[in-house]
Amino acid sequence: MYNISNIKSFLLKLQDEICAFLVQEDNNIEIKKDKWNYKDYNGLSYIFKKGTVFEQVGVNYSFINNRKMPKSATVCHKNLSGYTIQALGLSIIIHPLNPYIPTSHANIRFFLAEKLYEKPVWWFGGGFDMTPFYGFKEDVVHWHKTAFDICLPFGKCVYKKYKKWCDEYFYIKHRNEQRGIGGLFFDDLNKPDFKYCFEFVQAIGNGFLIAYQPIVVRRKNYLWGERERQFQLYRRGRYVEFNLIYDRGTIFGLQTNGRIESILISMPPLVRWEYDYKIDENSVEASLYRDFLPVKNWLL
């Protein structure tokens, strides 16, 4: 049976581990710890900014209690009208300063829906994805191989299923392009039982740094200049567009009248848009669109 205390303990421990990684790789970064309460929400947020490796990072734990079920909370459970929810989760969004380090995002969440005289309904969601500005096949293969290894103990088709879900979810329809190179995404996970589901999300959370840290170590000392910076800021615009238009976490927070600083913690500190932006087809920047953003099997 579900145990919210165990989930909370895991999420807070993972939050500490992510924070330790950030300090290890960027010991010049500023850290703000924010323990907050807002209406039916409470949480613990760590904001890292103005580093030499990472420009801004949010590592946000939040808990919501006794709120009516918003439409964005689930796509599968259509019969939960009138239920109240408890929801807790950890979200990580890393915006590097160095354009050769990819932006990365991870999220784990748990929902418990309850109604008088009805059986409670619970489920997990989450995953991780990566958004490079300059693509390196070595990095992308490592990222997806790690995701495959995480999933394999839970079923031979799990990676394929959740990679496909990630590719479909992080698709920017109005741009007709992927947000990044994908990863894993799942939602409404409550089968076959709680033990399986909780072990799976723990594997996802613990595997995030295994997937991401080696990429940071390989790329953080790459030299970059104004050209790379301007392309990074332009591509961040895609990240903002997706999060404000499509992201279910953002929509959920707004529908529940949540704490806006926590809802928008994923936004990059600087971004730019340019009208009718064109890229030289022979440039290294064009390689991102041609060689990395199209959906493919990176494990072949």
Known binding residue 109? Answer is: yes
Catalytic residue among 41, 64, 105, 207: 105
Query: CA-CA-CA-CA torsion for 9, 13, 15, 21, nearest 10 degrees?
Result: -170
Known binding residue 3? Answer is: no
> Nearest Cα to 256, choosing from 51, 38, 98, 12?
38
Name the strand (E) or helix (H) holding 66: strand 54-68
Known binding residue 142? Answer is: no
Q: Which residues contact 167 (CB under 8 A, 6 or more apart)?
A: 178, 182, 295
Q: Is 105 a catalytic residue?
A: yes
Q: What is the DSSP string of 185-232?
A: EEEEE--S-HHHHHHHHHHHHHHHHHHHHHHHHHHTT----HHHHHHH
Known binding residue 108? Answer is: yes
Please state, in angstroms and as integers, the Cα–Cα distance from residue 161 to each residue in 57, 91, 154, 156, 157, following that order: 29, 22, 12, 10, 6
> Nearest Cα to 125, choosing from 198, 16, 183?
198
Known binding residue 218? Answer is: no
CA dist., res. 64 & res. 81, Å (int): 18
Q: What is the DSSP letter of 153?
A: G
Tokens of 266: 């994923």
In the three-class reduction of DSSP (H, G, I as helix; E, B as strand; rest coil), residue 10 is classed as: helix
Known binding residue 259? Answer is: no
Binding-site residues for substrate sit at 91, 107-109
Binding-site residues for a divalent metal cation sit at 95, 105, 144, 174
Binding-site residues sit at 91, 95, 105, 107-109, 144, 174
Catalytically active residues are 105
